[in-house]
Structure 1
Protein backbone atom coordinates (compact mmCIF):
# COMPACT_ATOMS: atom_id res chain seq x y z
CA UNK A 1 0.00 0.00 0.00
CA UNK A 2 1.35 3.41 -0.97
CA UNK A 3 1.84 5.97 1.80
CA UNK A 4 0.73 9.42 0.72
CA UNK A 5 1.10 12.89 2.21
CA UNK A 6 -0.94 15.96 1.37
CA UNK A 7 0.70 19.38 1.07
CA UNK A 8 -1.91 22.09 1.61
CA UNK A 9 -1.02 25.79 1.39
CA UNK A 10 -3.37 28.29 3.03
CA UNK A 11 -3.65 32.04 3.51
CA UNK A 12 -6.56 33.89 5.12
CA UNK A 13 -9.28 31.52 3.92
CA UNK A 14 -10.21 29.65 7.09
CA UNK A 15 -13.70 28.67 5.91
CA UNK A 16 -12.33 27.11 2.73
CA UNK A 17 -9.45 25.51 4.62
CA UNK A 18 -11.91 23.74 6.92
CA UNK A 19 -13.95 22.62 3.90
CA UNK A 20 -10.83 21.26 2.20
CA UNK A 21 -9.73 19.40 5.34
CA UNK A 22 -13.23 17.97 5.77
CA UNK A 23 -13.09 16.66 2.20
CA UNK A 24 -9.68 15.10 2.87
CA UNK A 25 -11.03 13.41 6.01
CA UNK A 26 -13.67 11.75 3.83
CA UNK A 27 -11.10 10.30 1.42
CA UNK A 28 -11.71 6.65 0.59
CA UNK A 29 -7.93 6.14 0.51
CA UNK A 30 -6.01 6.63 3.72
CA UNK A 31 -3.85 9.76 3.92
CA UNK A 32 -0.73 9.26 6.03
CA UNK A 33 0.17 12.91 6.68
CA UNK A 34 -1.41 16.31 6.00
CA UNK A 35 1.27 18.99 5.82
CA UNK A 36 -0.41 22.39 6.22
CA UNK A 37 1.59 25.50 5.36
CA UNK A 38 0.06 28.67 6.77
CA UNK A 39 1.36 31.74 4.95
CA UNK A 40 1.09 33.99 8.04
CA UNK A 41 -2.72 34.21 8.02
CA UNK A 42 -4.47 36.83 10.16
CA UNK A 43 -8.03 35.46 10.14
CA UNK A 44 -7.87 32.92 12.97
CA UNK A 45 -6.25 30.20 10.87
CA UNK A 46 -3.27 29.95 13.20
CA UNK A 47 -5.45 29.38 16.26
CA UNK A 48 -7.48 26.73 14.42
CA UNK A 49 -4.38 24.90 13.20
CA UNK A 50 -2.96 24.87 16.71
CA UNK A 51 -6.02 22.87 17.80
CA UNK A 52 -5.73 20.22 15.08
CA UNK A 53 -1.98 19.62 15.22
CA UNK A 54 -1.19 15.93 15.52
CA UNK A 55 1.24 13.31 14.29
CA UNK A 56 -0.86 13.17 11.12
CA UNK A 57 -1.46 16.93 10.77
CA UNK A 58 1.96 18.57 10.42
CA UNK A 59 1.53 22.35 10.68
CA UNK A 60 4.12 24.86 9.49
CA UNK A 61 3.39 28.44 10.56
CA UNK A 62 5.39 30.89 8.45
CA UNK A 63 6.35 34.26 9.94
CA UNK A 64 5.54 36.10 6.70
CA UNK A 65 3.54 35.53 3.53
CA UNK A 66 5.97 34.07 0.98
CA UNK A 67 3.28 33.44 -1.61
CA UNK A 68 1.93 30.21 -3.01
CA UNK A 69 5.31 29.40 -4.55
CA UNK A 70 7.06 29.75 -1.22
CA UNK A 71 4.37 27.75 0.53
CA UNK A 72 4.62 24.84 -1.89
CA UNK A 73 8.41 24.93 -1.66
CA UNK A 74 8.23 24.62 2.14
CA UNK A 75 5.53 21.95 1.98
CA UNK A 76 7.22 19.72 -0.59
CA UNK A 77 10.54 20.10 1.21
CA UNK A 78 8.87 19.12 4.48
CA UNK A 79 7.38 16.06 2.78
CA UNK A 80 10.78 15.07 1.41
CA UNK A 81 12.75 15.65 4.60
CA UNK A 82 10.28 14.80 7.37
CA UNK A 83 8.34 11.82 6.00
CA UNK A 84 9.08 8.53 4.30
CA UNK A 85 5.87 8.61 2.27
CA UNK A 86 5.91 7.54 -1.37
CA UNK A 87 3.83 10.30 -2.97
CA UNK A 88 2.67 13.82 -2.17
CA UNK A 89 -0.74 15.23 -3.13
CA UNK A 90 -0.48 19.01 -3.58
CA UNK A 91 -3.32 21.54 -3.38
CA UNK A 92 -4.48 25.03 -2.36
CA UNK A 93 -6.93 25.64 0.48
CA UNK A 94 -9.76 26.24 -2.02
CA UNK A 95 -9.37 22.75 -3.51
CA UNK A 96 -12.23 20.43 -2.59
CA UNK A 97 -11.41 16.90 -3.78
CA UNK A 98 -14.11 14.29 -4.25
CA UNK A 99 -13.81 11.46 -1.74
CA UNK A 100 -12.61 8.99 -4.41
CA UNK A 101 -10.06 11.43 -5.92
CA UNK A 102 -7.00 9.99 -4.19
CA UNK A 103 -8.16 6.39 -4.56
CA UNK A 104 -8.51 6.95 -8.32
CA UNK A 105 -5.03 8.47 -8.46
CA UNK A 106 -3.68 5.36 -6.75
CA UNK A 107 -5.56 3.05 -9.14
CA UNK A 108 -4.00 4.95 -12.04
CA UNK A 109 -0.52 4.74 -10.50
CA UNK A 110 -0.88 0.97 -10.13
CA UNK A 111 -1.57 0.70 -13.85
CA UNK A 112 1.20 3.07 -14.88
CA UNK A 113 4.15 2.13 -12.70
CA UNK A 114 6.79 4.85 -12.46
CA UNK A 115 5.62 8.40 -13.17
CA UNK A 116 6.62 11.96 -12.47
CA UNK A 117 3.26 13.45 -11.59
CA UNK A 118 -0.45 12.77 -12.05
CA UNK A 119 -2.77 15.72 -12.67
CA UNK A 120 -6.34 15.55 -11.47
CA UNK A 121 -9.51 16.51 -13.33
CA UNK A 122 -10.06 19.95 -11.79
CA UNK A 123 -13.53 21.47 -12.13
CA UNK A 124 -15.08 24.76 -11.12
CA UNK A 125 -18.11 24.87 -8.82
CA UNK A 126 -20.49 24.46 -11.78
CA UNK A 127 -18.63 21.30 -12.90
CA UNK A 128 -17.12 22.97 -15.99
CA UNK A 129 -13.32 22.63 -16.40
CA UNK A 130 -11.43 25.07 -14.16
CA UNK A 131 -9.78 27.35 -16.70
CA UNK A 132 -6.70 28.21 -14.68
CA UNK A 133 -5.99 24.53 -14.01
CA UNK A 134 -6.01 23.19 -17.56
CA UNK A 135 -2.89 21.02 -18.05
CA UNK A 136 -0.62 21.67 -21.03
CA UNK A 137 -0.54 18.66 -23.35
CA UNK A 138 1.53 17.60 -26.35
CA UNK A 139 -1.13 16.63 -28.83
CA UNK A 140 -4.46 15.59 -27.28
CA UNK A 141 -7.34 18.07 -27.43
CA UNK A 142 -8.12 19.33 -23.94
CA UNK A 143 -11.86 19.75 -24.54
CA UNK A 144 -12.38 16.01 -25.02
CA UNK A 145 -10.15 15.24 -22.06
CA UNK A 146 -11.79 17.71 -19.70
CA UNK A 147 -15.30 16.60 -20.50
CA UNK A 148 -14.48 12.93 -19.94
CA UNK A 149 -15.21 11.16 -16.67
CA UNK A 150 -14.30 7.78 -18.10
CA UNK A 151 -11.38 5.79 -16.78
CA UNK A 152 -8.87 7.48 -19.05
CA UNK A 153 -5.14 8.19 -18.76
CA UNK A 154 -3.37 10.65 -21.02
CA UNK A 155 0.44 10.22 -21.00
CA UNK A 156 0.99 13.52 -22.77
CA UNK A 157 1.33 16.12 -20.04
CA UNK A 158 3.87 18.92 -20.23
CA UNK A 159 2.75 20.89 -17.19
CA UNK A 160 -0.08 21.21 -14.70
CA UNK A 161 -1.14 23.36 -11.75
CA UNK A 162 -0.60 22.75 -8.05
CA UNK A 163 -4.32 22.04 -7.65
CA UNK A 164 -4.82 18.32 -7.01
CA UNK A 165 -1.44 17.18 -8.28
CA UNK A 166 0.15 13.89 -7.17
CA UNK A 167 3.98 13.91 -7.32
CA UNK A 168 6.35 11.00 -6.78
CA UNK A 169 9.19 11.18 -4.27
CA UNK A 170 11.47 9.85 -7.02
CA UNK A 171 10.68 12.86 -9.22
CA UNK A 172 11.34 15.33 -6.40
CA UNK A 173 14.67 13.66 -5.64
CA UNK A 174 15.61 13.97 -9.30
CA UNK A 175 14.59 17.57 -10.07
CA UNK A 176 14.68 19.32 -6.70
CA UNK A 177 12.12 21.73 -5.26
CA UNK A 178 9.84 24.42 -6.70
CA UNK A 179 11.35 27.89 -7.01
CA UNK A 180 10.13 29.80 -3.97
CA UNK A 181 11.19 33.17 -5.37
CA UNK A 182 8.41 33.04 -7.99
CA UNK A 183 6.05 34.09 -5.16
CA UNK A 184 2.93 33.44 -7.27
CA UNK A 185 2.10 32.36 -10.82
CA UNK A 186 4.21 30.10 -12.97
CA UNK A 187 5.93 28.16 -10.18
CA UNK A 188 3.74 25.12 -10.80
CA UNK A 189 4.23 25.29 -14.58
CA UNK A 190 8.01 25.59 -14.25
CA UNK A 191 8.18 22.77 -11.73
CA UNK A 192 5.98 20.32 -13.61
CA UNK A 193 7.82 21.08 -16.86
CA UNK A 194 11.01 20.10 -15.06
CA UNK A 195 9.43 16.84 -13.95
CA UNK A 196 7.79 15.91 -17.27
CA UNK A 197 11.08 16.48 -19.08
CA UNK A 198 12.44 13.46 -17.17
CA UNK A 199 9.40 11.36 -16.27
CA UNK A 200 6.19 10.39 -18.04
CA UNK A 201 3.31 12.29 -16.45
CA UNK A 202 -0.42 11.75 -16.84
CA UNK A 203 -3.86 13.31 -16.64
CA UNK A 204 -6.25 11.13 -14.61
CA UNK A 205 -9.82 11.90 -15.64
CA UNK A 206 -11.50 10.09 -12.75
CA UNK A 207 -9.60 11.95 -10.02
CA UNK A 208 -11.94 14.91 -9.67
CA UNK A 209 -11.57 17.98 -7.47
CA UNK A 210 -13.48 21.26 -7.33
CA UNK A 211 -11.50 24.50 -7.37
CA UNK A 212 -13.68 26.98 -5.48
CA UNK A 213 -12.36 30.24 -6.91
CA UNK A 214 -14.61 33.32 -7.03
CA UNK A 215 -14.70 33.28 -10.83
CA UNK A 216 -13.73 30.67 -13.42
CA UNK A 217 -11.13 32.73 -15.23
CA UNK A 218 -7.51 32.38 -16.23
CA UNK A 219 -4.77 35.02 -16.21
CA UNK A 220 -5.66 37.89 -18.53
CA UNK A 221 -4.19 41.28 -17.65
CA UNK A 222 -6.16 43.09 -20.34
CA UNK A 223 -9.49 42.03 -18.85
CA UNK A 224 -8.35 42.08 -15.22
CA UNK A 225 -9.77 44.59 -12.75
CA UNK A 226 -9.32 45.29 -9.06
CA UNK A 227 -6.56 44.32 -6.68
CA UNK A 228 -5.23 41.45 -8.84
CA UNK A 229 -3.70 43.84 -11.41
CA UNK A 230 -0.53 44.41 -9.39
CA UNK A 231 0.02 40.64 -9.12
CA UNK A 232 0.70 40.47 -12.85
CA UNK A 233 4.17 41.82 -12.14
CA UNK A 234 5.03 38.28 -11.01
CA UNK A 235 3.32 36.75 -14.03
CA UNK A 236 5.40 38.84 -16.47
CA UNK A 237 8.68 38.48 -14.58
CA UNK A 238 8.28 34.73 -14.11
CA UNK A 239 7.24 34.14 -17.73
CA UNK A 240 10.37 35.88 -18.99
CA UNK A 241 12.51 33.79 -16.64
CA UNK A 242 10.82 30.60 -17.86
CA UNK A 243 11.32 31.71 -21.46
CA UNK A 244 15.05 32.09 -20.90
CA UNK A 245 15.22 28.43 -19.89
CA UNK A 246 13.49 27.18 -23.03
CA UNK A 247 14.93 26.45 -26.49
CA UNK A 248 14.99 29.49 -28.75
CA UNK A 249 11.54 28.81 -30.25
CA UNK A 250 9.87 28.67 -26.86
CA UNK A 251 11.85 31.68 -25.67
CA UNK A 252 10.74 33.78 -28.63
CA UNK A 253 7.11 32.65 -28.26
CA UNK A 254 7.07 33.74 -24.60
CA UNK A 255 8.61 37.15 -25.33
CA UNK A 256 6.34 37.78 -28.31
CA UNK A 257 3.31 36.97 -26.18
CA UNK A 258 4.33 39.59 -23.63
CA UNK A 259 5.04 42.13 -26.37
CA UNK A 260 1.58 41.53 -27.86
CA UNK A 261 -0.01 42.04 -24.43
CA UNK A 262 1.85 45.32 -23.99
CA UNK A 263 0.80 46.51 -27.46
CA UNK A 264 -2.85 45.63 -26.81
CA UNK A 265 -2.78 47.49 -23.51
CA UNK A 266 -1.59 50.58 -25.34
CA UNK A 267 -4.01 50.57 -28.29
CA UNK A 268 -7.13 48.53 -27.46
CA UNK A 269 -10.15 50.73 -26.70
CA UNK A 270 -11.81 50.52 -23.32
CA UNK A 271 -8.94 48.99 -21.31
CA UNK A 272 -9.50 49.77 -17.64
CA UNK A 273 -6.52 50.94 -15.55
CA UNK A 274 -4.49 51.21 -18.76
CA UNK A 275 -1.56 53.18 -17.35
CA UNK A 276 -1.32 50.98 -14.26
CA UNK A 277 -1.33 47.81 -16.35
CA UNK A 278 1.34 49.12 -18.72
CA UNK A 279 3.47 50.01 -15.70
CA UNK A 280 3.03 46.48 -14.30
CA UNK A 281 4.21 44.90 -17.56
CA UNK A 282 7.21 47.21 -17.87
CA UNK A 283 8.13 46.63 -14.23
CA UNK A 284 7.99 42.87 -14.78
CA UNK A 285 10.22 43.14 -17.84
CA UNK A 286 12.83 45.28 -16.06
CA UNK A 287 12.91 43.14 -12.91
CA UNK A 288 13.26 39.98 -15.01
CA UNK A 289 16.72 41.17 -16.07
CA UNK A 290 17.87 40.78 -12.45
CA UNK A 291 15.81 37.71 -11.55
CA UNK A 292 18.09 34.69 -11.19
CA UNK A 293 16.55 32.43 -8.50
CA UNK A 294 18.30 29.37 -7.19
CA UNK A 295 16.92 25.96 -8.18
CA UNK A 296 17.40 24.03 -4.94
CA UNK A 297 18.22 20.35 -5.15
CA UNK A 298 17.32 17.64 -2.63
CA UNK A 299 20.04 16.82 -0.13
CA UNK A 300 21.05 13.18 -0.29
CA UNK A 301 20.43 12.81 3.44
CA UNK A 302 16.75 13.79 3.05
CA UNK A 303 15.15 10.44 3.68
CA UNK A 304 12.28 11.20 6.04
CA UNK A 305 11.94 11.21 9.82
CA UNK A 306 8.25 11.01 10.71
Structure 2
Protein backbone atom coordinates (compact mmCIF):
# COMPACT_ATOMS: atom_id res chain seq x y z
CA UNK A 1 0.00 0.00 0.00
CA UNK A 2 1.48 3.34 -1.13
CA UNK A 3 0.45 6.23 1.10
CA UNK A 4 0.24 9.86 0.09
CA UNK A 5 2.57 12.23 2.00
CA UNK A 6 1.58 12.70 5.64
CA UNK A 7 0.27 16.24 5.07
CA UNK A 8 -2.02 14.95 2.31
CA UNK A 9 -3.39 11.84 4.00
CA UNK A 10 -6.88 10.86 2.94
CA UNK A 11 -9.50 8.76 4.72
CA UNK A 12 -12.08 6.87 2.67
CA UNK A 13 -15.64 6.82 4.02
CA UNK A 14 -18.11 4.28 2.67
CA UNK A 15 -21.31 2.50 3.65
CA UNK A 16 -22.24 -1.11 2.92
CA UNK A 17 -25.44 -3.05 3.39
CA UNK A 18 -26.90 -6.45 2.62
CA UNK A 19 -24.55 -9.02 1.08
CA UNK A 20 -22.20 -6.62 -0.70
CA UNK A 21 -18.85 -7.19 1.00
CA UNK A 22 -17.51 -8.84 -2.18
CA UNK A 23 -17.98 -5.44 -3.88
CA UNK A 24 -16.67 -3.50 -0.89
CA UNK A 25 -13.47 -5.56 -0.80
CA UNK A 26 -12.65 -4.52 -4.38
CA UNK A 27 -13.30 -0.87 -3.55
CA UNK A 28 -11.11 -0.90 -0.44
CA UNK A 29 -8.19 -2.67 -2.09
CA UNK A 30 -8.29 -0.23 -5.00
CA UNK A 31 -8.56 2.79 -2.67
CA UNK A 32 -5.55 1.68 -0.64
CA UNK A 33 -3.58 1.08 -3.84
CA UNK A 34 -4.45 4.68 -4.73
CA UNK A 35 -2.79 5.91 -1.56
CA UNK A 36 -5.62 6.22 0.95
CA UNK A 37 -4.29 6.06 4.51
CA UNK A 38 -7.36 4.56 6.17
CA UNK A 39 -11.03 3.83 5.64
CA UNK A 40 -14.21 4.11 7.68
CA UNK A 41 -16.77 1.49 6.69
CA UNK A 42 -20.29 1.76 8.05
CA UNK A 43 -21.96 -1.61 8.44
CA UNK A 44 -25.53 -0.55 7.71
CA UNK A 45 -27.34 -3.39 9.46
CA UNK A 46 -25.77 -6.21 7.42
CA UNK A 47 -26.62 -9.88 8.08
CA UNK A 48 -24.26 -12.17 9.99
CA UNK A 49 -22.30 -13.51 6.96
CA UNK A 50 -21.51 -9.96 5.85
CA UNK A 51 -20.43 -9.02 9.37
CA UNK A 52 -18.03 -11.96 9.36
CA UNK A 53 -16.67 -10.90 5.97
CA UNK A 54 -16.14 -7.37 7.31
CA UNK A 55 -14.23 -8.78 10.27
CA UNK A 56 -12.00 -10.67 7.83
CA UNK A 57 -11.34 -7.47 5.90
CA UNK A 58 -10.44 -5.70 9.13
CA UNK A 59 -8.00 -8.50 9.92
CA UNK A 60 -6.52 -8.15 6.43
CA UNK A 61 -5.93 -4.39 6.62
CA UNK A 62 -5.62 -3.88 10.38
CA UNK A 63 -8.06 -2.26 12.81
CA UNK A 64 -6.01 0.96 12.81
CA UNK A 65 -6.44 1.23 9.02
CA UNK A 66 -9.97 -0.11 8.56
CA UNK A 67 -12.46 1.34 11.04
CA UNK A 68 -15.84 -0.42 11.14
CA UNK A 69 -18.87 1.42 12.50
CA UNK A 70 -21.82 -0.92 12.98
CA UNK A 71 -25.45 0.20 12.88
CA UNK A 72 -28.04 -2.19 14.31
CA UNK A 73 -30.34 -1.73 11.33
CA UNK A 74 -30.18 -0.26 7.84
CA UNK A 75 -30.61 3.50 8.25
CA UNK A 76 -30.33 4.24 4.54
CA UNK A 77 -27.57 6.21 2.87
CA UNK A 78 -28.38 9.27 4.98
CA UNK A 79 -28.00 7.49 8.32
CA UNK A 80 -25.04 5.48 7.11
CA UNK A 81 -22.98 8.37 5.77
CA UNK A 82 -24.00 10.52 8.73
CA UNK A 83 -22.41 7.92 11.03
CA UNK A 84 -19.36 7.42 8.81
CA UNK A 85 -18.58 11.11 8.41
CA UNK A 86 -19.13 11.70 12.13
CA UNK A 87 -16.48 9.06 12.83
CA UNK A 88 -14.11 10.49 10.21
CA UNK A 89 -14.49 13.97 11.71
CA UNK A 90 -12.76 12.68 14.84
CA UNK A 91 -9.70 11.45 12.88
CA UNK A 92 -7.70 14.65 13.26
CA UNK A 93 -4.58 13.14 11.67
CA UNK A 94 -6.46 12.80 8.36
CA UNK A 95 -6.50 15.96 6.23
CA UNK A 96 -8.96 14.83 3.54
CA UNK A 97 -12.07 12.69 3.21
CA UNK A 98 -12.84 10.67 0.08
CA UNK A 99 -16.42 9.44 0.05
CA UNK A 100 -17.04 6.32 -2.03
CA UNK A 101 -20.05 4.09 -2.53
CA UNK A 102 -19.37 0.43 -1.82
CA UNK A 103 -19.30 -0.32 -5.55
CA UNK A 104 -17.07 2.57 -6.75
CA UNK A 105 -13.70 1.11 -7.75
CA UNK A 106 -11.14 3.89 -8.33
CA UNK A 107 -8.46 3.69 -10.98
CA UNK A 108 -4.94 3.44 -9.61
CA UNK A 109 -4.15 7.15 -10.08
CA UNK A 110 -7.61 8.50 -9.21
CA UNK A 111 -6.62 9.89 -5.82
CA UNK A 112 -3.23 11.31 -6.83
CA UNK A 113 -4.91 13.12 -9.75
CA UNK A 114 -7.44 14.71 -7.41
CA UNK A 115 -4.68 15.91 -5.12
CA UNK A 116 -2.59 17.25 -8.02
CA UNK A 117 -5.55 19.18 -9.49
CA UNK A 118 -6.45 20.51 -6.07
CA UNK A 119 -2.92 21.86 -5.69
CA UNK A 120 -3.07 23.43 -9.16
CA UNK A 121 -6.30 25.12 -8.08
CA UNK A 122 -4.35 26.79 -5.28
CA UNK A 123 -4.17 24.14 -2.53
CA UNK A 124 -7.11 25.90 -0.91
CA UNK A 125 -9.17 23.82 1.51
CA UNK A 126 -12.26 25.70 0.40
CA UNK A 127 -12.03 23.71 -2.84
CA UNK A 128 -13.59 20.24 -2.86
CA UNK A 129 -13.05 17.78 -5.71
CA UNK A 130 -15.18 15.15 -7.41
CA UNK A 131 -14.03 12.03 -9.25
CA UNK A 132 -15.72 11.20 -12.54
CA UNK A 133 -18.15 8.29 -12.87
CA UNK A 134 -19.11 7.50 -16.45
CA UNK A 135 -22.42 5.93 -15.37
CA UNK A 136 -23.62 9.26 -13.94
CA UNK A 137 -25.62 10.97 -16.69
CA UNK A 138 -25.47 14.31 -14.91
CA UNK A 139 -21.67 14.34 -15.00
CA UNK A 140 -21.53 13.30 -18.64
CA UNK A 141 -23.85 16.23 -19.38
CA UNK A 142 -21.51 18.60 -17.53
CA UNK A 143 -18.63 17.57 -19.78
CA UNK A 144 -20.68 17.56 -22.98
CA UNK A 145 -22.65 20.76 -22.45
CA UNK A 146 -20.36 22.68 -20.07
CA UNK A 147 -23.38 23.48 -17.89
CA UNK A 148 -23.59 23.70 -14.12
CA UNK A 149 -24.99 20.72 -12.25
CA UNK A 150 -26.87 22.16 -9.26
CA UNK A 151 -30.29 22.50 -7.66
CA UNK A 152 -31.64 25.25 -9.87
CA UNK A 153 -34.23 27.54 -8.23
CA UNK A 154 -37.79 26.81 -9.45
CA UNK A 155 -36.71 23.81 -11.54
CA UNK A 156 -38.04 20.31 -10.90
CA UNK A 157 -35.40 17.63 -11.47
CA UNK A 158 -33.53 20.18 -13.66
CA UNK A 159 -36.64 20.74 -15.82
CA UNK A 160 -37.37 24.47 -16.03
CA UNK A 161 -39.81 26.17 -18.39
CA UNK A 162 -37.94 29.43 -17.72
CA UNK A 163 -35.12 28.16 -19.95
CA UNK A 164 -37.28 29.27 -22.87
CA UNK A 165 -36.68 32.92 -21.99
CA UNK A 166 -33.72 33.11 -19.59
CA UNK A 167 -31.00 31.74 -21.86
CA UNK A 168 -31.06 28.16 -20.61
CA UNK A 169 -28.91 26.40 -18.07
CA UNK A 170 -26.10 28.29 -16.39
CA UNK A 171 -22.63 27.61 -17.75
CA UNK A 172 -20.13 25.91 -15.48
CA UNK A 173 -16.85 27.59 -14.60
CA UNK A 174 -13.84 25.63 -15.88
CA UNK A 175 -10.42 25.79 -14.22
CA UNK A 176 -7.38 23.55 -14.64
CA UNK A 177 -9.47 21.12 -16.67
CA UNK A 178 -12.05 20.82 -13.88
CA UNK A 179 -15.72 21.77 -14.07
CA UNK A 180 -17.66 23.61 -11.39
CA UNK A 181 -20.46 21.72 -9.60
CA UNK A 182 -23.16 23.06 -7.32
CA UNK A 183 -23.81 19.68 -5.68
CA UNK A 184 -22.04 16.33 -5.58
CA UNK A 185 -23.05 12.71 -5.07
CA UNK A 186 -21.27 10.71 -2.38
CA UNK A 187 -19.36 8.47 -4.77
CA UNK A 188 -16.05 10.21 -5.48
CA UNK A 189 -16.54 13.33 -3.33
CA UNK A 190 -13.17 14.46 -1.90
CA UNK A 191 -12.85 17.39 0.49
CA UNK A 192 -10.86 18.73 3.43
CA UNK A 193 -11.77 17.12 6.76
CA UNK A 194 -11.98 20.63 8.22
CA UNK A 195 -15.30 21.10 6.39
CA UNK A 196 -16.84 18.67 8.85
CA UNK A 197 -16.21 21.23 11.59
CA UNK A 198 -18.17 23.86 9.65
CA UNK A 199 -21.15 22.20 7.98
CA UNK A 200 -23.92 19.84 9.04
CA UNK A 201 -23.69 16.10 8.49
CA UNK A 202 -26.09 14.46 6.00
CA UNK A 203 -29.74 14.82 7.11
CA UNK A 204 -30.75 11.46 8.55
CA UNK A 205 -34.47 12.01 7.95
CA UNK A 206 -33.88 11.82 4.17
CA UNK A 207 -33.12 8.10 4.59
CA UNK A 208 -32.40 7.56 0.86
CA UNK A 209 -31.50 9.85 -2.03
CA UNK A 210 -30.42 13.47 -2.26
CA UNK A 211 -29.01 13.46 1.27
CA UNK A 212 -25.66 13.73 -0.55
CA UNK A 213 -26.87 16.85 -2.37
CA UNK A 214 -28.23 18.35 0.86
CA UNK A 215 -24.82 17.71 2.45
CA UNK A 216 -22.59 18.84 -0.42
CA UNK A 217 -24.50 22.00 -1.37
CA UNK A 218 -23.44 23.46 1.98
CA UNK A 219 -19.90 23.90 0.65
CA UNK A 220 -20.76 26.36 -2.17
CA UNK A 221 -23.29 27.99 0.16
CA UNK A 222 -20.45 28.64 2.64
CA UNK A 223 -18.16 30.17 0.01
CA UNK A 224 -16.40 27.01 -1.14
CA UNK A 225 -16.28 25.32 -4.54
CA UNK A 226 -16.76 21.79 -5.87
CA UNK A 227 -14.78 20.77 -8.97
CA UNK A 228 -15.46 17.75 -11.14
CA UNK A 229 -12.16 16.22 -12.27
CA UNK A 230 -12.71 14.14 -15.45
CA UNK A 231 -9.28 12.49 -15.23
CA UNK A 232 -9.91 11.00 -11.78
CA UNK A 233 -12.08 8.02 -12.64
CA UNK A 234 -14.19 5.53 -10.73
CA UNK A 235 -15.82 2.42 -12.17
CA UNK A 236 -19.18 1.27 -10.85
CA UNK A 237 -19.24 -2.52 -10.55
CA UNK A 238 -22.93 -2.78 -9.69
CA UNK A 239 -25.73 -1.57 -11.96
CA UNK A 240 -27.94 1.27 -10.73
CA UNK A 241 -31.70 0.72 -10.36
CA UNK A 242 -32.14 3.67 -12.74
CA UNK A 243 -30.26 1.91 -15.55
CA UNK A 244 -33.46 0.52 -17.11
CA UNK A 245 -34.91 3.94 -17.89
CA UNK A 246 -34.87 3.29 -21.65
CA UNK A 247 -37.44 0.51 -21.20
CA UNK A 248 -39.75 2.48 -18.92
CA UNK A 249 -39.32 5.35 -16.50
CA UNK A 250 -38.11 3.86 -13.20
CA UNK A 251 -40.93 5.57 -11.29
CA UNK A 252 -43.41 3.45 -13.28
CA UNK A 253 -41.41 0.23 -13.32
CA UNK A 254 -43.02 -2.32 -11.00
CA UNK A 255 -39.57 -3.77 -10.45
CA UNK A 256 -38.42 -0.56 -8.75
CA UNK A 257 -38.85 -0.71 -4.98
CA UNK A 258 -41.60 1.66 -3.85
CA UNK A 259 -39.42 3.14 -1.12
CA UNK A 260 -36.88 4.25 -3.73
CA UNK A 261 -39.49 6.05 -5.80
CA UNK A 262 -41.07 7.69 -2.77
CA UNK A 263 -37.81 8.95 -1.27
CA UNK A 264 -36.49 10.16 -4.63
CA UNK A 265 -39.50 12.41 -5.23
CA UNK A 266 -40.07 13.53 -1.64
CA UNK A 267 -36.45 14.37 -0.94
CA UNK A 268 -35.95 16.23 -4.20
CA UNK A 269 -38.94 18.40 -3.32
CA UNK A 270 -37.54 19.02 0.15
CA UNK A 271 -34.35 20.32 -1.48
CA UNK A 272 -36.06 22.38 -4.15
CA UNK A 273 -38.68 24.01 -1.95
CA UNK A 274 -36.01 25.75 0.11
CA UNK A 275 -34.61 27.36 -3.05
CA UNK A 276 -37.82 28.19 -4.90
CA UNK A 277 -38.28 31.85 -5.83
CA UNK A 278 -41.63 31.37 -7.55
CA UNK A 279 -43.91 28.66 -6.15
CA UNK A 280 -46.12 29.00 -9.22
CA UNK A 281 -43.25 28.31 -11.63
CA UNK A 282 -42.02 25.43 -9.49
CA UNK A 283 -45.49 23.81 -9.48
CA UNK A 284 -45.78 24.34 -13.25
CA UNK A 285 -42.41 22.68 -13.79
CA UNK A 286 -43.53 19.74 -11.65
CA UNK A 287 -46.67 19.23 -13.75
CA UNK A 288 -44.81 19.57 -17.05
CA UNK A 289 -42.08 17.17 -15.93
CA UNK A 290 -44.66 14.51 -15.12
CA UNK A 291 -46.35 15.03 -18.46
CA UNK A 292 -43.27 15.37 -20.69
CA UNK A 293 -40.75 13.13 -18.93
CA UNK A 294 -42.84 10.44 -17.25
CA UNK A 295 -46.29 10.02 -18.82
CA UNK A 296 -45.85 10.91 -22.52
CA UNK A 297 -42.72 8.79 -23.26
CA UNK A 298 -44.26 5.78 -21.51
CA UNK A 299 -47.86 6.10 -22.67
CA UNK A 300 -47.42 3.51 -25.42
CA UNK A 301 -45.88 1.03 -23.01
CA UNK A 302 -48.70 1.53 -20.53
CA UNK A 303 -51.35 1.08 -23.24
CA UNK A 304 -49.80 -2.18 -24.46
CA UNK A 305 -49.67 -3.56 -20.93
CA UNK A 306 -53.40 -3.52 -20.30
CA UNK A 307 -53.09 -6.29 -17.74
CA UNK A 308 -50.71 -4.11 -15.74
CA UNK A 309 -53.21 -1.26 -15.36
CA UNK A 310 -53.72 -1.91 -11.60
CA UNK A 311 -49.96 -1.82 -11.07
CA UNK A 312 -49.61 1.47 -12.96
CA UNK A 313 -52.51 2.90 -10.95
CA UNK A 314 -50.76 1.94 -7.70
CA UNK A 315 -47.61 3.63 -8.98
CA UNK A 316 -49.41 6.87 -9.74
CA UNK A 317 -50.95 6.78 -6.27
CA UNK A 318 -47.47 6.28 -4.80
CA UNK A 319 -46.13 9.22 -6.83
CA UNK A 320 -49.01 11.39 -5.60
CA UNK A 321 -48.23 10.46 -1.97
CA UNK A 322 -44.58 11.31 -2.51
CA UNK A 323 -45.50 14.74 -3.94
CA UNK A 324 -47.75 15.45 -0.99
CA UNK A 325 -45.04 14.43 1.48
CA UNK A 326 -42.45 16.58 -0.28
CA UNK A 327 -44.70 19.62 -0.36
CA UNK A 328 -46.06 19.29 3.17
1:207-286 to structure 2, matched below 5 A, reads 207-214=232-239, 217=243, 220-222=249-251, 224-249=253-278, 255-263=283-291, 268-271=299-302, 273-286=311-324
TM-score (norm 1): 0.79
Q: Which residue of 2 aligns with 1:36?
A: 41
Report the count of equivalent residues: 273
Single out whichever of 175-184 and 189-198 deviates more from structure 2: 189-198
Q: Out of 217-226 and 236-245, give the one that drifted further.
A: 217-226
Q: What root-mean-square deviation, in Å, do the aligned CA atoms of Structure 1 and Structure 2 show? A: 2.8
**Which 5+ residue runs of structure 1 have no aligned equivalent?**
125-129, 143-150, 291-306
Identify the residue that residue 18 of structure 1 maps to in structure 2. Answer: 25
Residues 13 and 98, structure 2, Cα contact 8 Å, conserved in 1 = yes
| Bigger helix share | 2
| Closer, same or farther: CA 261–269 of 1 in aligned 2, 3 Å | farther
Match of 1:300 in 2: none
CA contact (8 A) 1:40 1:63 kept: yes
Match of 1:48 among 53, 59, 69: 53
Residue 167 of structure 1, CA deviation: 1.8
Distance 1:6 1:168, change over 3 A: same
Q: Secondary structure at 1:99's aligned position in 2? A: coil
- The gaps in structure 2 that reach 5 residues or longer are 1-6, 149-175, 303-307
Aligned to 1:147: none
* 8 Å Cα contact 1:20/1:96 also seen in 2: yes
CA deviations on 1:44-76 (whole Å, 9 max, x unpaired) are 221111233311100011101011111111111
Q: Which residue of 2 aligns with 1:145?
A: none
8 Å CA contact retained: 1:240, 1:255: no
Which deviates further from its counterpart, 2-11 or 107-116?
A: 107-116
Choose the corresponding residue for 2:215, options 166, 184, 191.
191
Q: How far apart are 1:192 and its partner, in Å?
A: 1.8
**1:24-53 deviation per Cα after TM superposition (whole angstroms, max 9, x unaligned):** 2321x2x22200011111262211112333
**Contact 2:40 2:69 (C-alpha < 8 Å) held by counterparts:** yes
